Amino acid sequence: MSKKTIVNFKLNGASTDVMVEPRELLIHTLRDKLSITGPHIGCETSHCGACTVDIDGASVKSCTVLTVQCEGSELLTIEGFAKGGVLHPLQEGFTQEHGLQCGFCTPGMITRAYRLLQENPSPTEEDIRFWMAGNLCRCTGYQNIVKAIQYAAAKMRGETVTTSHPLMAELSA
């Protein structure tokens, strides 16, 4: 058995120490040791993107990274998005545009979309579809996810946003 080591990283802004075996995958550390259960275990084979977290400015599938590889890193998970009870524009966008049904893929979708909008604040629909291709959703058919990201992008650029979804528009009327 290989020796356990202490790994330190910043998790949603807070300095965090964990004791792990080198073979422990980040998704297990997050979910089982740190109660960060937003990132989900979907396929476990780096295909579905449900476990996506942001590590040092990169979207990463946490089922395919070892916790020991994160020493000294800055991690952001879905738990770090809402501030002071106010939803992040992406969370608001996914709500307003009905960007989810079962919600299993949503934390990964939002975390990935966050990095995409950091790199490209005004993506076209084609850009969004290309750069979100590492996240699978089995419910929505993606159309509303694209709209949710467009909603968030507009809001983050400081534009006035309204939902395109008829039911949500009725609700807020």
Partner 1 sequence: MIPRPFEYHAPTALPEVIALLGQYGDEAKLLAGGHSLLPMMKLRFAGPGHLIDLRKVAELKGIALVGGEIHIGAMTTENELIFSTLLAKHLPLLAEVARQIADPQVRYKGTLGGDISHGDPGNDHPAVMMAMDATFVLAGAHGERLVKASEFFHGLYDTALTPGEVMTQIRLPLPPAGTGSSYAKLKRKTGDYATAAAAAVVQVKNSVCVQARIALTNVGPTALLAGDAAASLVGKTIDEAAIGHAAALAMKICDPTPDLRGDEAYKTAMAGQMVERALRTAAARCAI
Could you list the residues that contact partner 1 (CB under 8 A)? 1-3, 5, 21-25, 28, 44-47, 49, 52, 58-61, 64-66, 68-69, 71, 112, 116, 130-134
Cβ-based nearer residue to partner 1, 1 or 173: 1
Three state DSSP letters for 31-93: HHHCCCCCCCCCCCCCCCCCCEEEECCEEEEHHHCEHHHHCCCEEECHHHCCECCECCHHHHH
Task: Kindly state the smallest distance separating residue 140's Cβ from partner 1, in Å.
Answer: 17
In angstroms, the CA 79 to CA 145 distance is: 19
Cβ-based nearer residue to partner 1, 25 or 161: 25
Task: Kindly state the smallest distance separating residue 91's Cβ from partner 1, in Å.
Answer: 20
Task: Kindly state the smallest distance separating residue 64's Cβ from partner 1, in Å.
Answer: 5
At 168, give phi and psi (nearest 5°): -70, -35
